[in-house]
């Protein structure tokens, strides 16, 4: 076994210490992609260019090495259609990226990779960006769900300047279709995949292995992505999904 493998095994034992297997506990097994790329789409039902972008990113939803999250924003509502899935907090998240990445303004559709890079919502550039992000892994902290599915362990690593948080992003897995009744997309049925419903901060990440409790109200069918994210430059340092 390589030294890196020994270290990884020791870290997993430390973070997951005492955890029983799903067969021992009767809990459902969890599938966790190793060091997945986080793809975030900011979109709106009232945005004329968004349905095409939604379709492009939808191709990534079933990839084990990608965590795809759709954030419907509310600033298109003034055109006459109130987005049925948007939240002001989702627009606020996008503004944090605008500031951190030194962009001129929010845009829709807008795709952000690992909190580090803005990518055009087109198949070619998006695929290249995901491949490049997967190849650039600078010792991310390991993120792993406990067998009971109610807790998540985060391993050790270097904390960025300004600190980092562990957050749970709760989303609805799969596609939701909404028929738009007014505005630029009037009469169209808009498809959105892995739409975020809410975000919960689980605590600060100090660089040491720690186990965090997930929100109690989670259901078996809820999608959960846990992100370790820098407070300053908004980089996503590590991630996993349940």
Nearest-angstrom CA–CA distance, 128 and 29: 32
pLDDT digits (tens, 9 = 90+) for 172-230: 999 999 999 998 999 999 999 999 999 999 999 999 999 999 998 788 789 999 999 99
CA atoms within 13 A on the CB side of 68: 22
| Residue 161 scores a pLDDT above 50 | yes
The pTM of this model reads: 0.84
3-state secondary structure of 155: coil
Please say whether the beta carbons of 183 and 51 come within 8 A: no
Looking at residues 67-79, what average pLDDT do you find?
95
Residue showing tokens 């600033």:
75
Backbone angles phi, psi at 64, to 5 degrees: -65, -25
pLDDT of residue 3: 30
Handedness of CA 126, 130, 135, 141 (dihedral sign): positive
* Packed helices 50-58 and 123-135: angle between N→C axes, nearest 10 degrees: 50
For residue 15, is pLDDT > 60? Answer: no
1 C-beta neighbours (distance < 10 Å), count: 7
Which residue(s) pair with 230 in the sheet? Answer: 164
Q: How many angstroms separate the CA atoms of 122 and 135, rounded?
A: 20
Q: Which domains does the chain have, with CATH numbers?
A: 26-241 (3.40.30.10)
The mean pLDDT value for 108-113 works out to 97
pLDDT at 34 (0 to 100): 63
Radius of gyration for the alpha carbons in the chain, expressed in angstroms and rounded: 18
What value does the mean pLDDT take over residues 32-36?
65
């Amino acid at each position: 076994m390589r030294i890196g493998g020994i270290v990884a095994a020791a870290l997993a034992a430390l973070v997951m210490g005492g955890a029983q297997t799903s067969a021992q506990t009767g809990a459902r097994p969890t599938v966790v992609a190793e060091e997945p790329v986080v793809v975030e789409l900011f979109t709106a039902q009232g945005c004329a260019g968004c349905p095409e972008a939604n379709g492009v990113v939808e191709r990534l939803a079933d990839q084990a090495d990608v965590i795809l999250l759709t954030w419907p924003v509310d600033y298109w509502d003034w055109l006459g259609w109130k987005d049925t899935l948007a939240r002001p907090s989702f627009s606020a998240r996008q503004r944090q990226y605008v500031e951190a990445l030194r962009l001129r303004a929010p845009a829709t559709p807008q795709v952000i990779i690992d909190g580090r890079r803005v990518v055009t919502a087109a198949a070619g550039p998006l695929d290249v960006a995901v491949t490049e992000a997967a190849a650039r892994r600078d010792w991310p902290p390991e993120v792993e769900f406990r067998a009971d599915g109610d807790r998540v362990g985060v391993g050790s690593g270097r904390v960025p300047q300004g600190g980092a948080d562990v957050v749970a992003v709760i989303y609805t897995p799969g596609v939701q279709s909404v028929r738009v009744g007014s505005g630029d997309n009037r009469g169209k049925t808009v498809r959105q995949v892995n739409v975020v419903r809410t975000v919960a901060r689980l605590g600060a990440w100090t660089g040491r292995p720690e186990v965090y409790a997930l929100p109690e109200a989670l259901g078996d069918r809820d999608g959960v992505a846990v992100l370790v994210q820098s407070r300053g430059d908004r980089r996503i340092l590590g991630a996993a999904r349940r």
